[in-house]
Amino acid sequence: MHNPTDDEWIARAIALAVAEKGTDPANTPIAALIVRDGKLIAQGVNRTTEQCDATAHAEVEALRAAGKAVGDMQIKDATLYSTLQPCGMCTMASIWAGVGRIVFGAGRDDVHKMYFEDRHLDTVDFIRDAFKDDLSLEGGVKAHDCAQLYYGPDDNVPQDKQANT
Ligand SMILES: [Zn+2]
């Protein structure tokens, strides 16, 4: 049986983002998948606006669904796929869930800075360094296709659409 590649999982995540949220960056079409042993365990899309919940990022939604699906808060040896580089909260949540590997599409340099909590240090770099024995992070899979879904680094984003800056 053919085991889907990282490219194919990210393509699926893109398709999910578009199916659930469309292609307008204003609707934050971010999607995440949790995969283990070549099988999709759970998926999620960003629901922060709909649920009035700042923690309802696609990755957290997927982790919650995966926990329910496997009946365990730990989803050991799973891979989390996301269309956009996970933020510090979602990276940390993955570590709490025992997810050993994160693969993402667009990285923070491919999109507008509103998507990341950059300050004088970057939490993603901090977490990546602190937990380098527990988590591998790989980016840039179908980065261009993923970045098309989001505001670009130089886009003039209306202030009321910016969550983070
Ligand atoms: Zn996040």
Tens digit of pLDDT for each residue in 46-93? 999 999 999 999 999 999 999 999 999 999 999 999 999 999 899 999
9 CA distance to ligand 1 centroid (A)?
A: 19
Enter the pTM of the model: 0.93
Please check the confidence at residue 1 and state whether its pLDDT lies above 80.
no
pLDDT in tens, 8-33: 999 999 999 999 999 999 999 999 99
Distance of alpha carbon 164 from alpha carbon 151, whole angstroms: 13
CA angle 10, 87, 23 (to 5 degrees): 50
* Cross-strand pairs, 42: 34
Residues whose CB is less than 8 angstroms from the CB of residue 123 and which lie 6 or more positions away in sequence, other chains included? 87, 88, 91, 117
Distance of alpha carbon 153 from alpha carbon 127, whole angstroms: 23
89 CA distance to ligand 1 centroid (A)?
A: 5
71 CA distance to ligand 1 centroid (A)?
A: 23
Residues labelled catalytic? 59
Please check the confidence at residue 165 and state whether its pLDDT lies above 60.
no
pLDDT in tens, 119-132: 666 777 888 888 88
Angle between helices 88-96 and 58-70 (to 10 degrees): 10
> Among 32-36, 140-144, 160-164, which stretch is predicted with the lowest mean pLDDT?
160-164
* Cross-strand pairs, 137: 102
What pLDDT was estimated at residue 120? 66
Secondary structure of residue 91 in the 3-state scheme: helix
63 CA distance to ligand 1 centroid (A)?
A: 11
